[in-house]
Structure 1
Amino acid sequence: MDSLTCRTSTWIDFLRQYGPIPRNDNMYDEVIQRTLRRKKLQPITFETEYLGELLDNFRSASPKTVILTGTAGDGKTYYCRQIWEEFGGSVDDWQKDSKIQRLALGDAASSPSVRQLIVIKDLSELTLKEKQSLLPQIATAILGKDTSKVYLIAANDGQLVEAWTEAAQIEEMKPVRKAIEDLLVGDLRELDGFQVKLYNLSRQSAAVLFPRILKAVLEHPGWGDCNQCAYQSQGCPIWQNKQRLEGTDADRTTQERLTDLLELCELNQMHLPVRQLLLLVANALLGHPDAKDRLLNCRQVPDVIAADTTSRASLYRNIFGENLPERRRESTEVFKVLRGFGIGAETSNQIDNILIFGADDPELQPLYADLVLSDSFYGADLKYQAQQRSYLEGDAAKGREEFLGVLQAQRQRLFFTIPGDRTTDMKLWDLTIFQYAGEYLNDLYRALQEDKKVPKPITSRLIRGLNRIFTGLLVNNQDELLLATSGSYSQARISKVYEESVSVSRKRGESVSVELDQSRKKPSLVVNLASNVEPIRFNLTLTRYEYLSRVAEGALPSSFSQECYEDVLAFKTQVFKQLAVRRSLDNEDEDGEEAINIRLLEMNSAGIASERTLEVYF
């Protein structure tokens, strides 16, 4: 193999820069653009969510000032540069270190009232003196008092309001600062009376952007260099990872499953910015623990093949940052989030039996051949089979530890390769800590998106889980929500004093349902107590869904997550507050009675709780 020619790819060298290697984050976009120009490469381009809207705003007859906010890496600088170039701004001027750039919107020759576009690359980089000078000017534009200038401002979350607070010296800045706070807190785009639009780029959907980013990387013309490389057909792990991530028209299981994970992260209130998604793709393609910076380049491929360590470049390991040292892996947001699913560490007896005993067990051999032997590159290569035999024969402890590490990699591979029509019988989501994640994504969230009803068994299970936490008892009621206290304290772990029940099916204004929150586009559990009482909403994240489902199936309330338990009790308190509102509207007043009725919960042999009334005389 030494005689083979390894063609060095400028594209692969460039792609490494998107990976988890040291860089100056504040100059990320600028560094990438300079590198592209120097190496004469096409940029990675993909459709972004708001660019069209932003360009239309600045092209309009009455453009508004735009504030782009979000976390680091959400693409604020990218948006600013794209708008700058679209309106004729010079690339060379943009690359200068100037914090503020200016250009004319429109043609001065055809219009005497040409506006000036002022681009602030990063509000946090301005000194206090610069902010005190500039922000009053921005305020006058936002209030509509100065139409000669329009601003495009990039600012990280948390720094935007702080900047206005620091520089607030004149009276007219107060309503502008208040308006910006209202836009941020209310997650709004515009407010009447203010010439400003606020785009929170942290609201961009990772699940929507990821397939676009992946397509842009995998279809980049730079891959053409690989067609002249002899190692393409000799086991190059970079090329192997590209093909697997790309999939075929008939089978895109790996990228679809990875997109599902990203969507679940989003539904679990974990935002991943564009920079992290690019990092994920680069690491998935190029990761190897023995390479420089743990990312392969073309020059290292012959050595990896010669050392027979191509399996350590597995795409399925790289998705979780397994190629990186633990400290760097845990400090990289995307890997920290994805590793939270426990894929590789979690397993099922069925999967492990196939991986460990499949070669010898006649009943498991068909599955072993289909799921393990069929993949000789990252599945059952000769090394794996030797370690498997060594493990079964009880050889040295070191060999045992090595095989357990290999098992983890195989579980990760299977999660991304088990065909879609086998996910139920193979219990795919048992390979994660969220065993109900597939149901949550497909039968609940996507059903709601398509205006379908949530299956009754799901709603029933959620109600059963809530009832068990609300009462602290292993009740099986699922057609009504039980509201109970310990007498006067609704937060008690055991609550047997019955206060009220809420019908799940719609009845006299009462109902309990799972709906899609129209503002956040995420599932919520909604309790209606009466038509004239504000409904109570409980944000149904993946973690909360898993928690309620496990409790419903028999787990104790605190066994999955103490935080979830406290969240549910806080929800219970909100329900009781609205119950008090309903009672006040109904003019319920029992003062002055000779006897007090105390209603206690009583369970029958089937676990169904009902009320038993005690009369206390005084």
Structure 2
Amino acid sequence: GKYDGSGKYKDFVASDQYYGARAYETFLTDYLEGERSKTDEFMQALSRQRQRLFFSLPGGHGLDPWNLTVYRSSGDFLAFTESLRSNSEITSTSETLVRGLNRTFCGMMMDDSTVLHLASSGGDGRGRIASILCHDVPVNKSRRDPFLKFDISNDDSVPSIRIIDPADKDSEYLDSLDLQLTHFEYLVRVANGSLPASFSRQCHEDFLDFKLRLIKRLDDVFGRDASADEVNLEAITVDERGRAQSEDIRIRISTQ
């Protein structure tokens, strides 16, 4: 194969005389030579190698064993969870998660990571592109307005997205969503360029449900001033740099 002469291949595959090259290379050679009748056997051998390497890769070689799994961001998930428990620095990861949320909530390739944009597509709010901006929620703590905060979940097991309203002295937060590993992986992949529904449609639906709940709760907090002769909307788009751009739209309503 392409890598069978590389140093890493020799160190981590060929060097294992029992469970490495000897148990794998025959299947690999057949596959590379076009022997498709043994594809299932090759895939099983490949899976066994991935499992073996996951548990046997030594540290210090710049190789991340989590890249051998479906959940490539698992290491970051564990580190982020521990940082929340210990109140350590989380800026880099939180920016990635907010970028993934914005791309999911708006259906656009946004790079904003300091403000959460809650946008609607009209109708049931589940359209692929949501271009009517309902609310902006800052990530930085505010003394007056609702803001987003990442915290540890109530059972101290996973990260949680929480929307805090400083003016509400009766509730700890307006709403929250605990991030299971699949949710975390989804947001990281979307932040890095994957389409929102490509990794997990269920995660996509979970985040859309969360967005619609937040819009409803923030509508209740801020209220809406109704006008008899005019409807005010705010459209949101994204520029060539991935920055959100908003524009006020006023629609006159005939009173005749």
User: One fold, TM greater than 0.5?
Assistant: yes
Report the TM-score, using the length of structure 1 for normalisation: 0.37
Q: 1:372 to 1:537 in 2, by over 3 A?
A: same
The DSSP-based 3-state class of the residue aligned with 1:434 is: coil
Q: Residue 86 of structure 2 corresponds to which residue in structure 1?
A: 450
1:537 aligns with 2:176: yes
Distance 1:449 1:377 in 2: 42
Q: 2:100 aligns with which of 462, 465, 477?
A: 465
Q: 1:486 to 1:407 in 2, by over 3 A?
A: closer
The DSSP-based 3-state class of the residue aligned with 1:484 is: strand
Q: Residue 243 of structure 1 corresponds to which residue in structure 2?
A: none
1:429 aligns with 2:66: yes
Q: Residue 160 of structure 2 corresponds to which residue in structure 1?
A: 524
The DSSP-based 3-state class of the residue aligned with 1:409 is: helix
1:372 aligns with 2:13: yes
Shift of 1:398: 5.5
Q: Deviations over 1:14-48 (max 9, x none)?
A: xxxxxxxxxxxxxxxxxxxxxxxxxxxxxxxxxxx
Which deviates further from its counterpart, 400-409 or 595-604?
Answer: 400-409
Shift of 1:576: 1.5
The DSSP-based 3-state class of the residue aligned with 1:568 is: helix
Q: 1:492 to 1:397 in 2, by over 3 A?
A: closer
Q: 2:56 aligns with which of 417, 421, 439?
A: 417
Distance 2:139 2:83 in 1: 19
Shift of 1:372: 1.8
Conservation of the 8 A alpha-carbon contact between 2:27 and 2:41: no
The DSSP-based 3-state class of the residue aligned with 1:463 is: helix
Q: 1:500 aligns with which of 132, 135, 159?
A: 135
Q: Deviations over 1:277-322 (max 9, x none)?
A: xxxxxxxxxxxxxxxxxxxxxxxxxxxxxxxxxxxxxxxxxxxxxx
Distance 2:248 2:35 in 1: 67
The letter of the residue matching 1:472 is G
1:440 aligns with 2:81: no
Q: Residue 210 of structure 2 corresponds to which residue in structure 1?
A: 571
Shift of 1:608: 1.3
Conservation of the 8 A alpha-carbon contact between 1:529 and 1:578: no
The DSSP-based 3-state class of the residue aligned with 1:498 is: strand
Shift of 1:491: 2.9
Q: Which has the higher contact order (CA 8 A, sep 6+)?
A: 2
* Aligned counterparts, 1:577-596, within 5 A: 577-584=216-223, 588-592=224-228, 594-596=229-231
Shift of 1:506: 1.2
* Aligned counterparts, 1:6-85, within 5 A: none
Conservation of the 8 A alpha-carbon contact between 2:134 and 2:215: no
- How well do the aligned residues superpose, as a CA RMSD in angstroms? 2.6
Q: 1:397 to 1:569 in 2, by over 3 A?
A: closer
Shift of 1:404: 4.4
Q: Of the two, which has the highest radius of gyration?
A: 1
The DSSP-based 3-state class of the residue aligned with 1:421 is: coil
Q: Residue 151 of structure 2 corresponds to which residue in structure 1?
A: 515
Distance 1:490 1:448 in 2: 32
Shift of 1:369: 2.4
The letter of the residue matching 1:568 is F
Q: Residue 558 of structure 1 corresponds to which residue in structure 2?
A: 197
Distance 1:494 1:393 in 2: 42
Q: Residue 236 of structure 2 corresponds to which residue in structure 1?
A: 601
Q: 1:395 to 1:609 in 2, by over 3 A?
A: closer
* Aligned counterparts, 1:172-183, within 5 A: none
Q: Residue 314 of structure 1 corresponds to which residue in structure 2?
A: none
Conservation of the 8 A alpha-carbon contact between 1:437 and 1:542: yes
State percent identity of aligned pairs: 30
Distance 2:194 2:35 in 1: 38
Q: 1:615 to 1:377 in 2, by over 3 A?
A: same
Q: Residue 483 of structure 1 corresponds to which residue in structure 2?
A: 118
The DSSP-based 3-state class of the residue aligned with 1:515 is: strand
Distance 2:184 2:218 in 1: 24
The DSSP-based 3-state class of the residue aligned with 1:420 is: coil
Conservation of the 8 A alpha-carbon contact between 1:598 and 1:613: yes
Unaligned runs of 5+ in 2: none
Conservation of the 8 A alpha-carbon contact between 1:529 and 1:579: no
The letter of the residue matching 1:370 is D
Q: Deviations over 1:360-413 (max 9, x none)?
A: x3xx1x2122112332232234x655x268538838556666444333221211
Q: 1:526 to 1:410 in 2, by over 3 A?
A: same
Unaligned runs of 5+ in 1: 1-355
The letter of the residue matching 1:441 is L
Report the TM-score, using the length of structure 2 for normalisation: 0.85
Structure ranking higher in strand proportion: 2
* Aligned counterparts, 1:141-160, within 5 A: none
Distance 2:202 2:35 in 1: 42
The letter of the residue matching 2:104 is I
Distance 2:204 2:31 in 1: 42
